[in-house]
Amino acid sequence: MPDYPKPPFPDQPQPMPGKTARMDPEPDHGEQSYKGSGRLAGKHAIITGGDSGIGRAVAIAYAREGADLLISYLSEEEDAQSVAELVEAEGRKCILMAGDIAEPAHCRAIIERAVSELGDLDILVNNAAHQATFEEIEEISDEEWQYTFATNIHAMFYLVKAATKHLEGGGTIINTASVNADMPRPQLLAYATTKGAIQNFTAGLAQMLADKGIRVNCVAPGPVWTPLIPSTMPPDMVREFGKNIPMGRPAQPAELAAPYVMLASEEASFISGATIAVTGGKPIL
């Protein structure tokens, strides 16, 4: 097992949504470690939030498994360009598309561009998310609550609705949920509530789309060392991030890539409606 860093971590506040290069320690996305074996050869995938964190690790893995990609991201140009370089170094196509998935029209445009420029669509990874930390419910503005839902769950509906006709007959949808769906952290009330909705959305959608030949699953990570952490949490929470789980540390994004690859592959042909927990020993019951 890799000797990944454990807390305490240094203070490192940065503005939302955060930049990978400013993190200490810098996250591991599998840049040096992930080895592909052609499990997604010839596939075409969309990854929202593919510029950093879990999405970046999934993008690297998918490219090394043979898939061409469209990476949707908010505005982090430097992170997006660097992951595109990694994807293209594997000889795979990488389309970058900036914009806010909280806007329904942008979600539809993502699907249209992917199909137009990749030629097809086989995999939709709904990974992008917004979170912010609040100690009291009075601190959460109406706008913050609405934007969290618009980004984390409403966007999934718009993307899936636009993608379904292209995925029929063997496509797959993978949604990023969270351990917060089952054990909500009160300081992340809005975020945790959307993650519970994602898990329910996944289970219902898997049943709705089964007769179209589309599989739908979700991955529920525990704490993961991504730019969202130093950019959305107070220093005391960042310092001890991941300390309270059995492995005593947060996951590195690279440690999340494998379930996304497995769920997108033909090996998972009878897996649908499932939640894969990647929590470092923290049970989801």
Strand locations in 99-171 (E): 123-126
Catalytic residue at 4? no
Cβ neighbours of residue 265 under 8 Å, at least 6 residues apart? Answer: 39, 40, 65
Cβ neighbours of residue 32 under 8 Å, at least 6 residues apart? Answer: none
Provide φ and ψ at 276, rounded to 5°. Answer: -100, 115
Residue 63 to residues 97, 131, 199, 279, Cα–Cα distance (Å): 17, 28, 27, 25
How many CB atoms lie under 10 A from the CB of residue 31? 14
Is the bond preceding 8 in cis, omega lying within 30 degrees of 0? yes
The token pair that represents 126 in the structure block: 């709904």
Residues 76, 99: contact at Cβ < 8 Å? no
- How many residues in total does the chain contain? 285
Instruction: In whole angstroms, give the CA distance from residue 23 to residue 13.
Output: 9
Which residue in the list 62, 73, 158, 191 is annotated as catalytic? 191
Instruction: In whole angstroms, give the CA distance from residue 148 to residue 191.
Output: 6
Cβ neighbours of residue 48 under 8 Å, at least 6 residues apart? Answer: 55, 72, 73, 101, 110, 125, 126, 127, 128, 155, 159
Residues annotated as catalytic (active site), given as ranges: 191
